[in-house]
């Protein structure tokens, strides 16, 4: 395997990188403008927006700013997480491809980078970095979401290919994606965690039937896929046969720790909580006529504190994992923090908006959106692994407390008690 080893002496220093990034960003990218949420766009508008963002990603790629920590041989810039941080800081206020971040760059690309063969990385990473291929996760299933290793989607070997059958769910944006990173069961006759394998599956391959799920806020971003004998070449298997949970554990790590991932371009402080910059709270309170209300001001201050603390805490947790002060399961702390802060933020925004969040003039939906967002408040504590899962992981894997009783540790997965198949 050939990898490009870069000695520290050859890495561009951060100041010069910052200058180069700043100059390029200002010369080439448009200032960021508030965009509609997915729920407010038609499919055509959303596809057009995705095409536009793919173009911006291509610009980044051509300028050498795509995949900042990805080795150059795979199309990246071959730099360090510190460079990625600098780039995120510099891009604040400018347009960047938000739709390609999660789950495309992380966890999907991060997993391919970590477990793919040299050949697989040569084949798949450049198209991702150019914005040509967008990945989603085929991870959750109707019968098992937080319990990801409970996958029942089955892959059966057929010569140099595999045939996949089953169903995946909660894959966000799958309808407009190119590939899915898929966790499937390849062996029912061994223990639950020993019979899994990971594949790269074309999202619209023959045999994939896709349904879009309407969420209570009107969004149709989440999809459910039904696989019937979907053919996947063995060359697109990531990691060893039946060794998919080795990949899966890291996959979940990347998912939980997205907020501190060097693969994600994310200006600090920009929309820490579901797209509301902190100054937006002042605007909201003013719009609701409550900026002079001490109770409203107390809540705004509380959220501002949460936001600043969250930024520092995520940095600390990332650093703690990198230095071994915490094991990599500590990423669950970051997941729990973003989850509970998002919930609180949604609640406060709703309370600030008052009755206007309940019924609104169609031409003036600003405050009304807070009501809609509030209805799906819990989504941020569910998606990406529930906060209960995060609390289990923190107490058991970080603090070393006794694990919950489990009925799925021993014997073939075939014999593990299961509820009725949900699909």
Partner 1 sequence: MELEITEDQGFFAETTRRFLDERSTTAALREMRDDPVGFAPDYWKQGAELGWTSLLVSEDDGGGTISGRAVPDLALVAFEFGKHAAPGPLVPAAIVAGAISRRGTDEQKQLLEGLLSGDVTAALCAGEPTRPARLGNVATEAVASGDRVRLSGVKGPVEAGAQAQVLLVTARTGDGLTQVLVPSDTPGVTVTPLDGLDLTRRYATVELEDVDLPASAVLGEIGAADADVDWQLQVAIALQLAEMVGAMDRAFAMTVEWSFDRYSFGRPLASYQELKHRFADMKLWLEASHAIADAAASKVEDGAPEAWDFLSAGKAYVGHYGVELMHDCVQIHGGIGVTFEHDLHVFLRRVTVDSLQYGSVTEHRERLTAALEAQEDAA
Our CB check for partner 1 shows the closer of 134 and 259 to be: 259
* Angle (nearest 5°) at CA 13 between 9 and 15: 165
Determine contact, residues 110/285, Cβ cutoff 8 Å: no
Could you say which of 398, 408, 416, 418 contacts partner 1 (CB under 8 A)?
A: 398
Q: In the bound complex, what is the minimum distance in angstroms from residue 198's beta carbon to partner 1? A: 28
Q: In the bound complex, what is the minimum distance in angstroms from residue 137's beta carbon to partner 1? A: 25
The answer to the question of residue 381 lying near partner 1 (CB under 8 A) is no
Could you say which of 2, 16, 33, 323 contacts partner 1 (CB under 8 A)?
A: 323
The answer to the question of residue 331 lying near partner 1 (CB under 8 A) is no
User: How far apart are the C-alpha atoms of 378 and 392, rounded to whole Å?
Assistant: 18
Our CB check for partner 1 shows the closer of 205 and 398 to be: 398
Q: In the bound complex, what is the minimum distance in angstroms from residue 295's beta carbon to partner 1? A: 10
The answer to the question of residue 399 lying near partner 1 (CB under 8 A) is yes
Our CB check for partner 1 shows the closer of 230 and 367 to be: 367
Could you say which of 282, 365, 382, 416 contacts partner 1 (CB under 8 A)?
A: 282
The answer to the question of residue 289 lying near partner 1 (CB under 8 A) is no
Closest of 150, 139, 143, 197 to residue 407, by C-alpha: 150
| Residue carrying the six token digits 């990034």 | 21
The answer to the question of residue 291 lying near partner 1 (CB under 8 A) is yes
Determine contact, residues 181/250, Cβ cutoff 8 Å: no
| DSSP track, 12-26 | PPHHHHHHHHHHHHH
Could you say which of 309, 358, 406, 422 contacts partner 1 (CB under 8 A)?
A: 309
**Options 106-114, 235-243, 307-315, 407-415: segment touching partner 1 (CB under 8 A):** 307-315
Our CB check for partner 1 shows the closer of 196 and 336 to be: 336
Burial 206-216 (b: 16+ CB within 10 A, else e): ebbeeeeeeee
The answer to the question of residue 320 lying near partner 1 (CB under 8 A) is yes
Q: In the bound complex, what is the minimum distance in angstroms from residue 233's beta carbon to partner 1? A: 42
User: With contacts defined by CB under 8 A, how many residues of the chain interact with partner 1?
Assistant: 43
Our CB check for partner 1 shows the closer of 134 and 393 to be: 393
* Strand pairing report for 237-238 and 179-185: unpaired
Our CB check for partner 1 shows the closer of 151 and 393 to be: 393
The answer to the question of residue 302 lying near partner 1 (CB under 8 A) is yes
Site string for partner 1, 136-155 (x = CB under 8 A): --------------------
Determine contact, residues 222/233, Cβ cutoff 8 Å: no
The answer to the question of residue 404 lying near partner 1 (CB under 8 A) is yes
- Does residue 116 sit in helix, strand or coil? coil
User: How far apart are the C-alpha atoms of 324 and 140, rounded to whole Å?
Assistant: 30
| DSSP track, 289-357 | T-TT-HHHHHHHHHHHHHHHHHHHHHHHHHHHHHHTSS-GGGHHHHHHHHHHHHHHHHHHHHHHHGGGG
Q: How far is CA 401 from the centre of its chain?
A: 28
User: How far apart are the C-alpha atoms of 36 and 218, rounded to whole Å?
Assistant: 13
Residues that bind partner 1 (CB under 8 A): 278-279, 281-283, 291, 294, 297-298, 300-302, 304-306, 308-310, 312-313, 315-317, 319-320, 323, 325, 332-333, 336-337, 388, 390-392, 394-396, 398-399, 401-402, 404
């Amino acid at each position: 395997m050939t990898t490009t080893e870069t000695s520290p002496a050859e890495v561009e220093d951060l100041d010069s990188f910052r200058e180069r990034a700043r100059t390029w960003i200002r010369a080439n990218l448009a200032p960021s403008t508030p965009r509609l949420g997915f729920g407010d766009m038609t499919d055509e508008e959303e596809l057009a927006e995705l095409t536009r963002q793919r173009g911006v990603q291509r610009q980044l790629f051509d300028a050498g700013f795509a995949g900042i920590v990805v080795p150059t041989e795979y199309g990246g810039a071959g730099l360090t997480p510190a460079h990625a941080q600098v780039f995120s800081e510099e891009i604040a206020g400018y347009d960047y491809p938000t739709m390609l971040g999660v789950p495309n760059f992380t966890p999907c690309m991060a997993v391919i980078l970590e477990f793919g063969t040299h050949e697989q990385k040569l084949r798949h990473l450049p198209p991702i970095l150019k914005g040509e291929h967008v990945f989603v996760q085929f991870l959750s299933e109707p019968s098992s979401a937080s319990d990801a290793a409970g996958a029942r989607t089955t892959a059966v070997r057929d010569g140099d290919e595999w045939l996949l059958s089953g169903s995946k769910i909660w894959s966000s944006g799958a309808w407009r994606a190119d590939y899915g990173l898929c966790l499937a069961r390849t062996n029912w006759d061994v223990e639950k965690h020993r019979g899994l394998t990971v594949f790269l599956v074309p999202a619209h391959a023959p045999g994939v039937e896709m349904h879009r799920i309407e969420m209570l806020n009107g969004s149709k971003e989440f999809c459910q896929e039904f696989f019937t004998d979907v053919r996947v070449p063995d060359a697109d298997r990531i990691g060893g046969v039946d060794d998919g949970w080795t990949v899966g554990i890291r996959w979940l790590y990347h998912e939980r720790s997205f907020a501190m991932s060097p693969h994600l371009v994310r200006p600090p402080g920009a929309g820490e909580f579901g797209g509301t910059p902190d100054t937006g709270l002042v605007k909201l309170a003013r719009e609701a006529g409550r900026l002079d209300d001490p109770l409203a001001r107390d809540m705004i201050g509380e959220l501002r504190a949460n936001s600043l603390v969250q930024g520092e805490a995520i940095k600390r947790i990332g650093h703690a994992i990198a230095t071994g002060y915490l094991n990599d399961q500590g990423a669950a702390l970051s997941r729990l923090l973003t989850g509970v802060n998002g919930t609180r933020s949604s609640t406060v925004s709703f309370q600030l908006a008052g009755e206007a969040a309940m019924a609104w003039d169609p031409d003036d939906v600003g405050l009304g959106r807070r009501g809609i967002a509030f209805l799906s408040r819990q989504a941020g504590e569910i998606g990406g692994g529930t906060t209960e899962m995060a609390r289990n992981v923190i107490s058991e894997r970080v603090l070393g407390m006794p694990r919950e009783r489990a009925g799925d540790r021993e014997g073939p997965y075939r014999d593990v008690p299961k509820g009725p198949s949900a699909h």
